[in-house]
Amino acid sequence: MRLLIVDDEAPARARLRRLLDGRDGIAAVEEAADGIEALARIETFRPDALLLDIEMPELSGIELAASLPEPAPLVVFVTAWDRYALQAFDARAIDYLLKPCDGPRLERALARLRERLRERTAARLPATPPAAALPALPLRQLLVTERGVTRVVPIADIGWIETADNYVVLHTAGGSPLLRQTLAGLLERLGPGFVRCHRRAAVQLSWIERVVALDKGDGELLLRGGARVPYSRQYRAQVLERL
């Protein structure tokens, strides 16, 4: 099992390394000091699981977990705070450890990771289980890595989203970065501020300025900034109800 420790405090990372040292089934361990570094390490190191802190500067561990590219590693949160437990398990964390965790408690978490990895391999499960929406801790931003550069994309800046093979395109005023994710999976994480308007598209409700009806029940949504996003008759009623 390959593990990536993500924590902004070096002593906490060092302590976890010591607790992991010599344990059976641990093939490799690497570290990252923040969410952006973690995404870069995930692409090169390909960990099976993250040991992930929650309260980190700029980007929380829960927000990082929601931004993981597919296929995503499993997540065990390791934090000094118990108040995030509900959000963590809503995000399908495998375990939730309170600092400072001891060896036996860490071993129980590792056992759960091993079991989940065995189940995934045996059943060929999708690498990322569906995450529930987190109304108590809504996403503020996504991390998008392209050609080795990681960009922070605020959710408020995303006007609309469209599918592109195994990716989605995040249309913002400053560009259209690609995120390796399904549209349905991303919408679950973004919550009620977005609505699907087409098989291949979704919009942020607050960006819609006009609804233009076309033939046969189809139409267009005119967004601030001038973007024109198609809606299909299949989603028309849903869009109008949400508006």
For residue 5, which phi and psi values (nearest 5 degrees)?
-90, 125
> What is the CATH code for 141-242?
2.40.50.1020
Q: Is the pTM of this model over 0.85?
A: no
pLDDT at site 136: 41
CATH class of the region 2-123: alpha beta
CA distance 105 to 82: 15
CA distances from 14 to 19, 80, 168, 175, 209 (A): 9, 16, 37, 39, 52
* Domain edges within the chain: 2-123, 141-242
pLDDT at site 124: 57
pLDDT at site 131: 45
pLDDT at site 133: 39
Extended strands (E) in 120-200: 141-146, 149-154, 158-164, 167-172, 178-179, 194-198
pLDDT at site 39: 84
pLDDT at site 127: 52
The strand order across the sheet containing 178-179 reads 178-179, 167-172, 158-164, 201-204, 194-198
Q: What is the pLDDT along the chain (243 residues), one digit of tens a residue?
A: 999 999 999 999 999 999 999 888 899 999 999 988 888 888 889 999 999 999 998 778 888 888 787 778 999 999 998 888 888 777 778 999 999 889 899 999 999 999 988 887 776 545 555 444 334 445 788 888 777 677 888 999 999 999 988 789 999 988 899 888 888 888 888 888 999 999 999 999 999 999 999 888 889 999 998 999 999 999 988 899 888
